[in-house]
Amino acid sequence: MRKGFTLIELLIVIGIIAILAALTFVAVDPATRFAEARNAERWSAANSVLNAVLKYQVDNDGTMPSGLDAVAGSSQVLGTAATGCDSTCTADTTVATCVDLSTDLVSKYLASIPQDPSTGAATNTDYYINVDANGRLAVGACDPELSETITVSR
């Protein structure tokens, strides 16, 4: 009889080592892992809003949703607040009034306007949108974590 390990035994040991390594990886710095997860959610939300606005444009002969300005140096925070939207966004210069895109985008292009996983609310989602003078769109997160910049544009 030959001595040695069977393939099943080796796979079980490798699986156990992988599980222990994953647990150790998360346990070493859970705050960073949670921040990375929130940033991943921010990337996804920014892409969703950008794609929704682009689909809206296609369906409406190139017209932007109502309320979006074309001022290159001032972004607009998504939300329903009439004031205070210029003081909460640290990633970009924003105007005081939030822009409410829910009427144009919700239900047909988005289930709801996304809100930042840490600080977002319906009045101030902590996501901004900017349309420059050339019509180029940029959507980003106002307060990403771990010094990351979250902006998508087309």
**Is 127 inside any structural domain?**
yes
Q: Which range marks the domain in which residue 18 is found? A: 7-153
139 Cβ contact partners less than 8 Å away, ≥ 6 residues apart: 46, 47, 49, 50, 53, 127, 128, 129, 130, 151, 152, 153
Does the structure show a pLDDT above 70 at 1? no
**Is 100 inside any structural domain?**
yes
**Is 34 inside any structural domain?**
yes
Return the number of other C-beta atoms located less than 10 Å from residue 95's C-beta.
17
**Region 1-24 average pLDDT:** 91
**Is 2 inside any structural domain?**
no
| pLDDT tens sequence across 63-118 | 999 998 877 778 999 999 999 999 989 999 899 999 999 999 999 999 999 999 99
| pLDDT tens sequence across 111-141 | 999 999 999 999 999 999 998 878 889 999 9
Q: What is the tally of structural domains in the chain?
A: 1
